[in-house]
Amino acid sequence: MTFLFRSALTKQGLLMPVLNAVRGMSTSTGPNPLFTTLSITRPADTITHVEFCRPEKRNAMNKAFWSEMVDCFNQIAEDPECRVVVFSGAGKLFTAGIDLMSMASDILQPEGDDTARISWNLRHIIVSKTSDCCHTWSMYWRGLVSTGVDLITACDIRLCTQDAWFQVKEVDIGLAADVGTLQRLPKVIGSRSLVNELALTARKMYADEAKSCGLVSRVFPDKETMMAGAMEMAEEIASRSPVAVQGTKVNLIYSRDHSVPDGLNYMATWNMSMLQTHDLMKSAQAAMEKKSPKEITFSKL
Amino acid sequence: MTFLFRSALTKQGLLMPVLNAVRGMSTSTGPNPLFTTLSITRPADTITHVEFCRPEKRNAMNKAFWSEMVDCFNQIAEDPECRVVVFSGAGKLFTAGIDLMSMASDILQPEGDDTARISWNLRHIIVSKTSDCCHTWSMYWRGLVSTGVDLITACDIRLCTQDAWFQVKEVDIGLAADVGTLQRLPKVIGSRSLVNELALTARKMYADEAKSCGLVSRVFPDKETMMAGAMEMAEEIASRSPVAVQGTKVNLIYSRDHSVPDGLNYMATWNMSMLQTHDLMKSAQAAMEKKSPKEITFSKL
Amino acid sequence: MTFLFRSALTKQGLLMPVLNAVRGMSTSTGPNPLFTTLSITRPADTITHVEFCRPEKRNAMNKAFWSEMVDCFNQIAEDPECRVVVFSGAGKLFTAGIDLMSMASDILQPEGDDTARISWNLRHIIVSKTSDCCHTWSMYWRGLVSTGVDLITACDIRLCTQDAWFQVKEVDIGLAADVGTLQRLPKVIGSRSLVNELALTARKMYADEAKSCGLVSRVFPDKETMMAGAMEMAEEIASRSPVAVQGTKVNLIYSRDHSVPDGLNYMATWNMSMLQTHDLMKSAQAAMEKKSPKEITFSKL
Amino acid sequence: MTFLFRSALTKQGLLMPVLNAVRGMSTSTGPNPLFTTLSITRPADTITHVEFCRPEKRNAMNKAFWSEMVDCFNQIAEDPECRVVVFSGAGKLFTAGIDLMSMASDILQPEGDDTARISWNLRHIIVSKTSDCCHTWSMYWRGLVSTGVDLITACDIRLCTQDAWFQVKEVDIGLAADVGTLQRLPKVIGSRSLVNELALTARKMYADEAKSCGLVSRVFPDKETMMAGAMEMAEEIASRSPVAVQGTKVNLIYSRDHSVPDGLNYMATWNMSMLQTHDLMKSAQAAMEKKSPKEITFSKL
Amino acid sequence: MTFLFRSALTKQGLLMPVLNAVRGMSTSTGPNPLFTTLSITRPADTITHVEFCRPEKRNAMNKAFWSEMVDCFNQIAEDPECRVVVFSGAGKLFTAGIDLMSMASDILQPEGDDTARISWNLRHIIVSKTSDCCHTWSMYWRGLVSTGVDLITACDIRLCTQDAWFQVKEVDIGLAADVGTLQRLPKVIGSRSLVNELALTARKMYADEAKSCGLVSRVFPDKETMMAGAMEMAEEIASRSPVAVQGTKVNLIYSRDHSVPDGLNYMATWNMSMLQTHDLMKSAQAAMEKKSPKEITFSKL
Amino acid sequence: MTFLFRSALTKQGLLMPVLNAVRGMSTSTGPNPLFTTLSITRPADTITHVEFCRPEKRNAMNKAFWSEMVDCFNQIAEDPECRVVVFSGAGKLFTAGIDLMSMASDILQPEGDDTARISWNLRHIIVSKTSDCCHTWSMYWRGLVSTGVDLITACDIRLCTQDAWFQVKEVDIGLAADVGTLQRLPKVIGSRSLVNELALTARKMYADEAKSCGLVSRVFPDKETMMAGAMEMAEEIASRSPVAVQGTKVNLIYSRDHSVPDGLNYMATWNMSMLQTHDLMKSAQAAMEKKSPKEITFSKL
């Protein structure tokens, strides 16, 4: 379970954090009619649960998945009620990574009259995946393989179960990870030596090491408690002022890619309008009345 | 307890590290005559202790605090003897964060003829706080709340007691943290997932997690041992060549915001003069005579 | 033991990871005829072991070492067979740091008609060391002192023994570390507070803290098991597709110094040709046949 | 007349240069059935002419224009034949700038429950215009007003007639130009003093000054000769290897926003595959046979 | 005559453009009582004229000048009425550059116990001049020498008389220009070859070349017409919406130092509040009523 | 004729400007014994003339040229006397660009077992040319073709004769210019529209346009007067303090790739030592005695 993140210059709704509904709460018994790989439920008015729902294939990412993710998050982006998205995988495994069979024709037999033209087409495919899809999401998992790391590094918050393991598997299939792992993993965890080791040897990392290196911020004993924890965290975030939550997310993403002085300049420019929200007065008043933030009703953003 | 840090293009003195005097050594029984919120003592010739001294208000940061911090550190900057500053909070709590009552008129009822003019004035207030004050400091604490995180992330080294806790509380009052937390926290600790979780949920983080995630570099059983540890560390730093200490600080700050090749280029340009210090010869000679660096007398910078 | 790293715009071979042969496997009984400070062996066709071999001086880095390192890695760079380099120190200590006696004439008595000209010459010396030599390497050690940290932060992966300790010793000899520590250490480990403390106080850090802060990714009980572990890791990497390994390394280094969107753009441009490798098809086929990557024969790069 | 430009990480087709068909060649007598503000013709197989076709309103940019531009260029991007786009305005004027009446409800009466929410919605509108539309195009004009400068600075090449004039008109309507002029104009022309003067005083600049400051690269006596010149230039570009043209455009845009070393690194990574095009051999052979590049047939990209 | 410019993160007032009063309008017959080197007049409510007033020394910049400039512009920054500043030199010459005699003790006989400490003190002096003073201004001149170029490149708009000449004179006195010329000149004019030639040979550049290379945006036959032109331009700017003028200035400075995508992101964040100004409605209404912007009354910012 | 430029982190001597000796002064009657494509002469003690000397092939750049340029400038870099280099072409043409026949085997028939390996090898060739050679030089010419633009944009100052013309010819041979033109040309001349037009259409630009767009800073009627002018300019530069000349060059290059605040920070760090040169005092004294800088004797750097 984790939260969605996207670059700052993007559509409104995709900046909202996303978080996973508890599986038992889901009324879906399979993929959503609109999607063949995703199941969408609404555990609360302000929370959407997106479940990667292809367990018979260990949630391997096929071509349908890549395009449905874009459509799904575009729909969520237009939904003014949703404040948090939870993303998880159905079954025991979060994802087994890229479904090589599904991608084979594009990647292994690319079109083009010469090497330059084949390269141009391959770049187009990579950029599409990267910019349209893999900017997104959060998720939970038991075991995570290969491209899955691309997905989770694109999320805001990462949780896992005690028996989860992670693997940057691309080096085992003869390529450098192409949809974000090599860019985001070093900014997501603190140890450069570990990043290099994982990416160059494709060894598995288990939950405890994932927690101590900072890849996940919490480890739960099993999927049930993790999903309950995810839901609780989603509720915490969904209950806060959406002005505060969005401003925090926009500025954290901006800071990742800029110097501290640049980040402070941007922050001041952002807050010169955002400080004028009524939410500030409502929160101050609630604080004086010893009320919890959850008791305040904030307008939609 | 921690050390001061500022951007590289700043006044001379503010680049010196600062560190906390042991409370029992302090002869002050309240705020310094010049300041209503700060107590300044001199536990050693080369060490200044700044204590946030408003314990009856849990060291909440009011308007006086913001301007006195600027004056205080400007004075220290002009003091050629001081080599380290220790910054701590009087009483049980380091700080309860922003004193909303004190800031209310500025933030909640800002002036201006239309939204653009109100925004312009608010930006001016934010920039003043950010650039004049919150570039600074270090501190120790038992519990740290809200804007306090802005302060401590601006420090060089952070120590805490076993019972300390930390909270990025802004999201609870309807705003995105505006004086540095969102910019510096991701560059101060290694886990991006944890930064996002703390900033989006406002949950408390306790000392052990603060140590394991790297926010603090040491945890002490209680305030007395912490202050003694801080003083010892201050003495370690104060005894070193000020040429070496300042050069280390300037270049560490530069490296934070630049690429590795840029950092190496700057370092070479810095050291082309700084290597000509007599301190190098003095140190080399002391090393050959098996003397400790503390036995060397270095000139003032 | 760790792996070589260099900036992206550099010679071909130096981008390959490097890893240490087990000492017992080495047939060398001292320095290589070509080198006075380094011993080069070939524990496997694709693995080169570089050993810092001046144990009677605790592997202190003298002038010969600086220039031999450049020559040695330039030779390796021309060797199409070598895929990994292991770098370690002979004897009990990895390195005692800079051999001040050896560098004394250059640093302590630099030439030049006035301060500007002395500075110009000193900058030339620093840049030579920095850009010609310290971009490189990996290593293992029992204890590591002073400039040694410059070396290890320039490596890909760092291993150590349980009794190893690390020290950024420059502040003790009156200077700011000039060959990479202040630039790379903050990007190598997650805790800023710890980086500042180590660089400003020159205190020793032991193996457990080095592991928990992320400086090393594994700790071994003694040198023998560490060297065996290093060799095993070297074999893991050497058995992978060189296209995948090099692409991973190039892009990880690029990402360190660029924003995430810049990194994704570069990755797409890199992979538009690299995805056309036969290694991908070979790997896919091996995966379908349930073979290990080690059973595949990849062409030289 | 000028050429389209977009950031490097974008859809394939939009990277192709665009250029204006001679008006007399156009068979369109008004807007294209699909568009109310644009007329699309095909003066040659590889050249598309987009004409801003609202002359009765002096080509003022209304809401329909903003969305149709996106659709139009998305269509062109999918067209594998088109290699150049020419963009011009019907009638005497290129554009009178933003149609304030059309945008009034969005900008002057924005929705939202408080200032923060209104700001959030306004930012959404600005970002949509900026990222979806104003990355695009090229054009020719007789007189150009206000937002028109946003459009033309987003183009590759700018031509104008002798009686054309240009104006950055935003300061006259109480706002800072928001869709690219302040970002691109300083990178498009050489004189910073002139950029500041134009943006702060809204004075008109005539064709001769536009030529000497570098805003346009050629001035023509009247629209007919200009359109003929534009067509000739379009044919020049369309006849070249599309691998060479696209690579040139991608790398010029990359270089605008990066340092020279970064640009060289990217160039080398780009060309490692693109140099493998058959176009290079075809061109070399043609050169030896003293043939013009126009006599070579290049594959589609 | 030109306009003030400062980095974006600075005090409010200093972001306003500044422009020169016509000399005949000035009632001052010498320096202002508060200043020994500057004369301050107020040709209009919204326009301040700062005159460098040391003609007997050819307006050479002495130590008093450097500190008075800071005080003067700090005062103007607090003045809510002033919207434009004009800066010019009294007498025939704008400035003869640095007054070496005045600076001699600081620069030629700097204090410090060793080279490192002398360097540290010199850096402090340079940084003070650079960050406190030379961020500022605009001016007019007949002849401009040496450090004067530092001043004028820090301005928004530059005008000159037909007999003016410019010289980057530092190379003639054995140093690299240290207060901004080498940083700003290449971003102010378009020809790199010319920048290099001027800085490396110290040759004079006359008004016509200054105009054609873009250093000045207008040349006037003599000082009287230039001052009249400056006043007219100042009135143009002062009559515009201050929200629009400041936003334009802030974003032009931001764009100079950032990529185009970064600039667009910042612009959107800036305008999400600034578009809510009443000035926009007032301007739209005036436009419909065919009134000039000068007929609108805008609130102070 | 122009001057050498290289990135700041490079060998000492290559940072010196270089300038062309008058042809008649040259005693060489062909290539230097050490070089087959270059003729080296010494018109003055402090000035080296490098002449591209393959006029029978219109100075087309073959493989020998690329490696000899590196050797030649490495030799000059070691020469403490030389302060300026002039680079020109023998005969009527500066260069006809790349000698395709000479490069054919490398570029048209690159080695490698698959596309990825061919790409890796091609990248190695490009990087070698780029980083080893094309960082360099300056030159004069009558006509300049294709890759020649890569060379001249890497120079400090560019001069040409009235009948010179320039062409970015790569697009005519099916590739994007790969050794610097696309990176440097937009930073060398002011008009983006013109850069795009030249690179996308490969049209010739003649001397007058080259002057007005800023590519060259001076145009001479014929080669003799140009060479005399180049020599005069070389003498101007060679007579200045080498501390001032080198500092100017290092900081101009740094500023090209960094923001203004970054540039000012670097400048202050550079000059904290360089201001301690005796050259400053010598120059000040000469100025007081009304002597020309040429009458001062400066030490070697």
Mean pLDDT, chain F, integer: 76
pLDDT for position E12 = 26
Tokens for F102? 């000479």
As beta bridge partners, residue B40 has: B50
- Put simply, whether E117 touches F (Cβ < 8 Å) is no
**Could you tell me if F209 and F160 are in contact, meaning their C-beta atoms sit under 8 angstroms apart?**
no
What's the pLDDT tens digit per position in A39-87?
Answer: 988 888 888 888 889 988 888 888 888 788 878 877 777 777 888 888 8
Q: List the single residue in A with minimal CA-CA distance to F114.
A: A115
**Could you tell me if D86 and D39 are in contact, meaning their C-beta atoms sit under 8 angstroms apart?**
no
Indicate where chain A has its CATH 1.10.12.10 domain(s).
242-295
CB atoms within 10 A of CB B291: 13
Partners of F118 on chain A (C-beta within 8 Å) are: 115
How many CB pairs (< 8 A) connect A and B?
A: 181
What's the pLDDT tens digit per position in E89-122?
Answer: 888 778 877 777 777 777 777 888 899 999 988 8
Least confident of A81-90, B75-84, C232-241, D222-231: B75-84
Q: How far is F191 from chain E (nearest CA, A)?
A: 8
CB atoms within 10 A of CB C28: 17
F 209-268 residues with CB < 8 A to E: 212-218, 233, 236-237, 240-241, 243-245, 247-252, 255-256, 259-261, 263-264, 267-268
Q: Looking at residues D262-279, what average pLDDT do you find?
A: 90
The residue whose two tokens read 């939970």 is A140
Burial of C34 (0-12, 13-18, 19+ CB in 10 A): exposed
What percent of chain C is modeled with pLDDT above 90?
Answer: 7
Which chains pack against C, by 3+ Cβ pairs within 8 A? A, B, D, E, F
Indicate where chain E has its CATH 3.90.226.10 domain(s).
6-238
Top-ranked range on mean pLDDT: pick from A36-40, D179-183, E127-131: A36-40
Q: Looking at residues C188-209, what average pLDDT do you find?
A: 88
Nearest Cα neighbor of D171 from D188, D205, D147 is: D147
What's the pLDDT tens digit per position in E36-47?
Answer: 999 988 888 888
Q: Which residues contact E185 (CB under 8 A, 6 or more apart)?
A: E149, E153, E168, E195, E198, E199
Domain B242-295, what fold?
A: Lyase 2-enoyl-coa Hydratase; Chain  A, domain 2 (1.10.12)
Least confident of B107-111, B285-289, E149-153, E232-236: E149-153
What's the pLDDT tens digit per position in B238-296?
Answer: 888 989 988 988 888 888 899 988 988 898 899 999 989 999 888 878 878 888 888 89
**For residues B3 and A197, which has the higher predicted lDDT (pLDDT)?**
A197
Angstrom distance (rounded) from CA E124 to CA E118: 10
Angstrom distance (rounded) from CA C227 to CA C88: 9
Q: List the single residue in B with minimal CA-CA distance to A152.
A: B193
Q: Quick check: D272 pLDDT over 70?
A: yes
Top-ranked range on mean pLDDT: pick from D122-126, E25-29, F150-154: D122-126
- Put simply, whether F114 touches C (Cβ < 8 Å) is yes
pLDDT band at A270 (very low <50, low <70, confident <90, very high): very high
pLDDT band at A279 (very low <50, low <70, confident <90, very high): very high
pLDDT for position C96 = 79
- Put simply, whether D27 touches B (Cβ < 8 Å) is no
Nearest Cα neighbor of F20 from F131, F94, F70 is: F94
The residue whose two tokens read 């003495």 is B235
**Could you tell me if A202 and A168 are in contact, meaning their C-beta atoms sit under 8 angstroms apart?**
yes
**Which of A74, A83, A114 is the mutation pick for testing D, counting most D CBs within 10 A?**
A114
Q: How far is B232 from chain E (nearest CA, A)?
A: 26
What's the pLDDT tens digit per position in C89-101?
Answer: 888 778 877 777 7
Angstrom distance (rounded) from CA F24 to CA F16: 24
pLDDT for position B160 = 87
Nearest Cα neighbor of F193 from F215, F168, F167, F213 is: F213
Q: Which H/E stretch holds residue D268?
A: helix D260-274
**Could you tell me if D199 and D177 are in contact, meaning their C-beta atoms sit under 8 angstroms apart?**
yes
Indicate whether this model's pTM tops 0.95. Answer: no
Cα dist from A35 to A38, A66, A103, F159, whole Å: 6, 11, 18, 65
pLDDT for position C179 = 67
- Put simply, whether F178 touches C (Cβ < 8 Å) is no
CA-angle at B163, arms to B157 and B165, nearest 5°: 65
3-class secondary structure per residue, chain A: CCCECCCCCCCCHHHCCCCCCCHHHCCCCCCCCCCCCEEEEEEECCEEEEEECCHHHCCCECHHHHHHHHHHHHHHHCCCCCCEEEEEECCCCCECCECHHHHHHHHHCCCCCCHHHHHHHHHHHHHHHHHHHCCCCCCCCCEECCCHHHHHHCECCCEEECCCEECCCHHHHCCCCCCCHHHHHHHHCCCHHHHHHHHHHCCCEEHHHHHHHCCCCEEECCHHHHHHHHHHHHHHHHHCCHHHHHHHHHHHHHHHCCCHHHHHHHHHHHHHHHCCCHHHHHHHHHHHCCCCHHHCCCCCC
Q: Quick check: D54 pLDDT over 50?
A: yes
What's the pLDDT tens digit per position in D66-121?
Answer: 788 878 877 787 777 888 888 888 887 788 777 777 777 777 778 888 999 999 88
Q: List the single residue in F with minimal CA-CA distance to D248.
A: F176
What percent of chain C is modeled with pLDDT above 70?
Answer: 80
Q: How far is B186 from chain F (nearest CA, A)?
A: 22
Tokens for D243? 């691998």
pLDDT for position D135 = 40
**Which of F182, F253, F259 is the mutation pick for testing D, counting most D CBs within 10 A?**
F182
**Could you tell me if C88 and C139 are in contact, meaning their C-beta atoms sit under 8 angstroms apart?**
yes
Q: Which residues contact F211 (CB under 8 A, 6 or more apart)?
A: F160, F217, F218, F219
Q: How far is A45 from chain C (nearest CA, A)?
A: 33
Q: Quick check: F228 pLDDT over 80?
A: yes
| Cα Rg of chain E (Å, integer) | 20
Give Dmax over CA atoms of chain B in angstroms.
72
> In this complex, do C241 and A184 lie within 8 Å of one another by their Cβ atoms?
no
**Could you tell me if B140 and B160 are in contact, meaning their C-beta atoms sit under 8 angstroms apart?**
yes
Q: φ, ψ for residue F229 (rounded to 5)? A: -65, -40
Angstrom distance (rounded) from CA F60 to CA F104: 13
Domain B6-238, what fold?
A: 2-enoyl-CoA Hydratase; Chain A, domain 1 (3.90.226)
